[in-house]
Amino acid sequence: MKRVETDVVIIGGGVTGAGTFRDCLIRGIPAVLVEKNDLASGTTGRNHGLLHSGARYAVKDSASAVECIGENRILKKIARHCIEDTGGLFVALDDDDPAYGDRLIVSCRSAGIACREIAHQEALRIEPNLNPRIVRAFTVPDATIDPFRLVSANVLDARERGGQVYTHTRVNQIMTGPEGVTGVQCQNRLTGETFEIRARVVVNASGVWGEKVCRAAGIEMKMFPSKGSLIIFDYRVNRVVVNACRMPADADIFVPGDTVSLIGTTSRKIAYEDIDIAEVDEEEIAVLLEGAERLVPNVSRTRLLRAYCGVRPLISLKKGEVDGRSISRGIVLVDHEMRDGLKGLISIAGGKLMTYRLMAEKTTDLICRKLDRTDTCTTSQLPLPGSETKGKLTTRRNQFKGISASVIGSTQYRHGERVHQILKSDRKHDGLICECEMVTAGEVEYALQHLNVEDIVDLRRRTRLGMGPCQGALCACRATSFFVELKKMSGEKANQMLVDFIEERWKGIKPILWGDALREAEFSYWIHQGLISKKKKLEKPDEV
């Protein structure tokens, strides 16, 4: 059996795992990242993509608000190419409690969040699609952050510093000896190959799947999964993040992102055994659409692109907890040596997408203590790959002769300074493979070679290919060819990969299948079944 030697194994390729992986490598600690599916394929990639200012939490949970604004400022510096500094608004309509705005101002001030009331006419000028029934408005430093880019950049940095990544690889067992954990036993889900990774510290950064990971070490750690659903609209109907100015509730945040806008979320308790099969239901769709129309009325005439849900990893601190009363919504770092007497195992959970760096810092500090090291954290200063240069990214487009501005813009938007490694102006590389999102053949090739891409679903997360209006109707076939050419994939595997990709897109389309979404689905069906004559293959069972 193959054996890999390292100091730290991190289980989970979400943003927390990726951030911890990078922090370790920056501090010079050898580390390996293992992810059972793809990077950012779990909860990390299934939320608003909101870079909170903290204002949303200020009234109810001031500790979270302080955490948010601190990380907000840091990420705007180190992850510039993953962030759009849109700004945010809190808007109160005529039927909202007007007093909430006063509490918001006071709470934001004490948390150090710049929050200012503006005239409601001014809010309508900033955001013309807002409900004209608005009576009060407040600006806050909210922004948006792309979770896929963020994870990819963290992993890319760690790899360039010598870290190893195994995606589509499941941890079957956490190995222990008299001195505590000794490593993990893994299996590559694509090839079936099993291997061992020997390490002194194992970090469980697998979010809601952490309960299962702990079970693999013989430890009980209960999760209380909460499903959050969102709807994506096919147009960017708002410019800034729009929050409903009232106590946090369902469907109260409307976020612009790339070429789309999203409304979310809901919060529904689900059974732990359902975490891999959670779907958006009819009731949630109705609640989300109502909430969206309340903030931005014209979304009722906007095409729905898809609906999706994520499962929040709420964790119980107490052993033997059954009813979830001691659930923590903050960052939870568990040293299993203290909790369960198992040396070398750490769990990190809770928190938010945008507090990942802080979670990684706390985790890596604990790793250092376990390894008797004194290295300090520098991730708040070191920009991610792609975000190195200060100043506006858009100023250097004239460096690319013969390539259209929209292609340069989109590529730079996704990869920051790495655009220089991607764009080539020759016929083989500059053709558009995904026209909705302006992904060139060169970008596909770069992603396949440098960004841990094993299939089209992975490719979508790295490049946005297939995320636009056509949902992969045309680009999926084109992209498949690159896997045959560059990864030497067989025809049979390529067919299955294409089918899996289209089925993955279909999951998000099904709940909102009417109007233009139905038109598009009919077109896509013609293309795949008619023009391409893609015959159905059996879906492969989703393992956990």
Partner 1 sequence: MRFDSIIIGGGIAGMTCAIRCAEKGLSCAVISSGMSALHFASGSIDLLGRFPSDSVVTNPFDQMPDFINHNPEHPYARCGEKAIADSLQYFTDQLQQQSLQLCNNGRQNHFHLTTYGTLTPTYLSQKSVYSPELEKAFFENQKMALISFEGFRDFHVPLISANLPGQTLFQNRQVTTGTVDLSPLIRSQKNPHEFRSIDISRMLETDEDLQKIADHINELAGDAGIIGLPACLGFIHHASVYEKLQRLVGRPVYEIPTLPPSILGMRLDHALKTRFSNLGGVFIAGDKVVRGEMQSGKLSGVYTENHGKTLLKAGSVVLASGSFFSGGLISDSAGIREPVFNLDLTYEKDRKQWARGLFFQPESHQFLEFGVKTNEQLNPFDSSGHLIDNLYCAGAILAGYNPIREGSGGGVAISTGYTAAEMIIGRTASTGAARP
| Contact positions vs partner 1 (CB under 8 A) | 403-404, 406-407, 427-428, 430-433, 435, 438, 440-441, 474, 477-478, 480-481, 484-485, 489-492, 494-495, 499, 502-503, 505-506, 510, 513-515, 518-519, 521-537, 539
Instruction: Output 318 or 537, the one with its CB closest to partner 1.
Output: 537
Instruction: Output 184 or 403, the one with its CB closest to partner 1.
Output: 403
Instruction: Output 137 or 502, the one with its CB closest to partner 1.
Output: 502
Residues in the chain: 544
Instruction: Output 250 or 443, the one with its CB closest to partner 1.
Output: 443
Q: Shortest gap between Cβ of 513 and partner 1 (angstroms)?
A: 6
Three-class secondary structure of residue 391 per DSSP: coil
Q: Which two tokens stand for residue 504?
A: 């993955």
Q: Shortest gap between Cβ of 402 and partner 1 (angstroms)?
A: 9
Beta strands in 61-147 (DSSP E): 83-84, 88-93, 116-118, 134-140, 143-145
Instruction: Output 235 or 523, the one with its CB closest to partner 1.
Output: 523
Instruction: Output 276 or 522, the one with its CB closest to partner 1.
Output: 522
Say if residues 465 and 475 touch (Cβ distance below 8 Å): yes
Q: Shortest gap between Cβ of 48 and partner 1 (angstroms)?
A: 23
Instruction: Output 342 or 499, the one with its CB closest to partner 1.
Output: 499
- Buried b / exposed e over 132-151, threshold 16 CB at 10 Å, is eebebbbbbbbbbbbbbbbb
Q: Which two tokens stand for residue 408?
A: 């340069």
CA–CA distance, 97 with 105 (Å, rounded to integer): 14
Q: Shortest gap between Cβ of 404 and partner 1 (angstroms)?
A: 5
Q: Shortest gap between Cβ of 279 and partner 1 (angstroms)?
A: 10
Q: Shortest gap between Cβ of 530 and partner 1 (angstroms)?
A: 5
Residue with tokens 């030697």: 5
Three-class secondary structure of residue 4 per DSSP: strand
Instruction: HSE, CB side, 13 Å, CA atoms: give it for residue 448.
Output: 21
CB count within 10 Å of CB 19 equals: 28
| DSSP single-letter state for residue 396 | G
Burial of 87 (0-12, 13-18, 19+ CB in 10 A): middle
Q: Shortest gap between Cβ of 488 and partner 1 (angstroms)?
A: 9
Helix/strand/coil (H/E/C) assignment for every residue in 405-438:
HHHHHHHHHHHHHHHHHHCCCCHHHHCEEECCCC
Instruction: Output 84 or 443, the one with its CB closest to partner 1.
Output: 443
Instruction: Output 152 or 471, the one with its CB closest to partner 1.
Output: 471
Candidates 154, 210, 202; CA nearest to 367 is: 202
Phi, psi values for residue 238, rounded to 5°? -125, 155
Q: Shortest gap between Cβ of 260 and partner 1 (angstroms)?
A: 19
CA–CA distance, 266 with 361 (Å, rounded to integer): 30
Q: Shortest gap between Cβ of 131 and partner 1 (angstroms)?
A: 21
Q: Shortest gap between Cβ of 486 and partner 1 (angstroms)?
A: 9
Q: Shortest gap between Cβ of 531 and partner 1 (angstroms)?
A: 5
CB count within 10 Å of CB 293 equals: 17
| DSSP single-letter state for residue 541 | P
Pairing of the two strands 2-5 and 194-198: parallel
Pairing of the two strands 253-257 and 432-434: unpaired
Instruction: Output 1 or 538, the one with its CB closest to partner 1.
Output: 538
Instruction: Output 4 or 484, the one with its CB closest to partner 1.
Output: 484
